[in-house]
Structure 1
Amino acid sequence: MHTLISAELLKLRTIRSPWLLLAACPLLVVAGTSGLVVSSNKPLDPTAQSQAVAHVGLASIFTLVFGILAVAGEYRHQTITDTYLSTPARGPVIGAKLLLYAIFGALAGVVSALVGLGAAAAWWSGKGASFAWTDSAMWTTIGGGIAWNAAFAAIGVGLGALIRSLVGAIAVALAWIALVEGIVGQLIGDLARWLPFNAGQALGAAAEPVMTPDLLPRWGGGGVLVVYTLLFAVLAVGTSMRRDVS
C-alpha cells in the first residue's frame, strides 16, 4: 500500500489540474464569507461566525471533482492501463486512491478553514466587532466542513471509477447537486435530507443555517455521509475489478 500511495503522490506532483481545484477551495470560502458580511444586516455575532465558516463545507464541490480526477482522469489520459499493468491487483490501487484523495480533501478543508477564519476575523475587525475565537459552535461547524470535504473527495474517486468518462462523471456530479438535490429534492420533502449533498450540509452546517434549515442533525448527516462514502468505495472497487480497461 505504501508503494501505491507513493505512486499516486508522484502522479499528483506531475499534473496541475488537481491543485488548481484545491486552490479554488479557499477562494470560495473567502468569497462566501465576504458575501455574507456585505449582504447581511444582522450583527456580527458568534452565530454569524458559524455561518461564515460554514462555507468551508461548500468547498466540497471542488474536492468532489478532485476525487473524480483520480480515476476518470486516468482513463481520459489513457494512463490507467500502465497503472493496472504495474499493479494487477486493482482493489489495492483503488483503495490507495480512496485513502490519499480523502486525506487531501481533508487537508483542503483545513486550509480553507484557516483562510476563512482569517477573512472572517479581518471583516469582523473592519466592522469594529469582536471575533470570538473560542466559540464552540464555530469550531464544530469547521470540523464538520473538513469531514465533508474528505468524504466528497472519496465519493468522487468512487464516481470516477463507476463513470469512467471524466466529462460525464463531472456532469453527473454537478447535475445531481444542482438538479436532483436542488430542485427534485424539493418535491420529495423530508426525504431529500437523506441525499448526499444535503447530508454534507447537515454535517458542516452553521448553528443556524442560512439556506437550508430542514436538515438532519449533525450526527445524522455525518452518519449518512459515511454510508454513502463506504457505498461508493465498495462499488468502485467491485466495478474496477470486473470491468475491462478498454
Structure 2
Amino acid sequence: MNTLIRTELLKLRTIRSPWLLLAASPLLVAAGTSGLVISGNKPLDPIAQSQALAHVGLASLFTLVFGILAVAGEYRHQTITDTYLSTPARGPVIGAKLLVYAVFGALAGVASALVGLGVASAWWAGKGASFAWADSAMWTTIGGGIAWNAAFAAIGVGAGALIRSLVGAIAAALAWVALVEGIVGQLIGDLARWLPFNAGQALGAAAQPMMTRDLLPRWGGGTVLVIYTLVFAILAVGTSMRRDVS
C-alpha cells in the first residue's frame, strides 16, 4: 500500500490540472467572504464570521471534481491500463486513491480556511470591527467545512470509478448538486436533508438557526456524509474489480 500511495503522490506531482482546480478553492472562499462584507447587509459580528467561513465547505465542489480526476482522468488519458498492469490487484489501487485524494481534499480545505481567515480578518480590521478569533462556532464551521472537502474528494473518486467518462462524471456530479438537490430537493421536502450535498451543508453550515432550519443537525450531517463516503468507496472498489479496463 505504501508503494501505491507514493505512486499516487508522484502522479499528482507530475500533472497540473488537479493543482489548478484546488487553487480555485481559496479564491472562492475569498470572493464569498468579500461579497458578504461588501453587501453590507449584516453586522460584522461572530455570526457573520461563521457565515464567511462557511464558504470553506462550499469549496468541496472543487474537491469533488478533484476526486473524479483520480480515476476518470486516468481513463481519459488511457493511463489506467498501465496502472492496473503494474498492480493487478485493483482494490488496493482504488484504496490508495481514496486515501490520498481524501487527505489532499482535507488539505485543500485547510488552505481555503487559512485564506478565508486572512481575508475576513482584514475586512473586519478595515471596517473597524473586532475579529473574534476565540469564537468556537466559527472554528466548528471551519472544521465541518474541511471534513466536507475531504469527504467529497473521496466521493469523487467513487464517482469517477462508476462513471469512467471524465466529462460524464463531472457533468453528472454537478447536475446532481444543481438539479437533483437544488430543484428536485425542493419538491421532496425534508427528505432532501438526507442527500449528500445537503448533508455537507449541515456539517459545514454557519452557526445561525435560520440558515440551518431545513438541514440535519451538524452531527447528523457528518454521519450521513460518512455513510455516503463509505458507500461510494465500496462501489468504487467493487466496480473496478469487476469491469474490464477497456
Q: Give yes or no for TM over 0.5.
A: yes
Q: TM-score, normalised by structure 2?
A: 0.99
What per-residue deviation string (whole Å, max 9, x for no partner) do you get for residues 192-218 of structure 1?
000000000000000016766410000
Aligned match of 2:31: 31
2:82 partner SS: helix
Identify if the C-alpha distance between structure 1 residues 103 and 210 changes in structure 2 by more than 3 Å, giving closer, same or farther: farther
Give the Cα–Cα distance (whole angstroms) in 1 for the partners of residues 196 and 141 of structure 2: 17
Give the Cα–Cα distance (whole angstroms) in 2 for the partners of residues 210 and 64 of structure 1: 27
Give the Cα–Cα distance (whole angstroms) in 2 for the partners of residues 16 and 115 of structure 1: 21
Letter in 2 for 1:168: G
State the aligned residue count.
Answer: 246
Give the Cα–Cα distance (whole angstroms) in 1 for the partners of residues 185 and 166 of structure 2: 25
Aligned match of 2:74: 74
2:64 partner SS: helix
Aligned match of 2:177: 177
Identify if the C-alpha distance between structure 1 residues 210 and 56 changes in structure 2 by more than 3 Å, giving closer, same or farther: farther
Aligned match of 2:236: 236
CA contact (8 A) 1:51 1:209 kept: no
1:27-176 map, 5 Å = 27-176=27-176
Aligned match of 1:223: 223
Give the Cα–Cα distance (whole angstroms) in 2 for the partners of residues 61 and 112 of structure 1: 13
Larger mean CA deviation between 1-10 and 210-219 belongs to 210-219
Letter in 1 for 2:75: Y
Give the Cα–Cα distance (whole angstroms) in 2 for the partners of residues 209 and 58 of structure 1: 18
Q: TM-score, normalised by structure 1?
A: 0.99
CA contact (8 A) 1:30 1:115 kept: yes
Shift of 1:116: 0.2
Shift of 1:47: 0.4
Letter in 1 for 2:76: R
What per-residue deviation string (whole Å, max 9, x for no partner) do you get for residues 147-204 of structure 1?
0000000000000000000000000000000000000000000000000000000000
2:128 partner SS: coil
What per-residue deviation string (whole Å, max 9, x for no partner) do you get for residues 214-240 of structure 1?
100000000000000000000000000
Of all paired residues, the percent bearing the same amino acid is 89
Question: CA RMSD, aligned part only?
Answer: 0.9
1:214 partner SS: coil
Give the Cα–Cα distance (whole angstroms) in 1 for the partners of residues 15 and 144 of structure 2: 29
Give the Cα–Cα distance (whole angstroms) in 1 for the partners of residues 181 and 41 of structure 2: 29
Letter in 2 for 1:107: L
Unaligned segments of structure 1, at least 5 residues: none
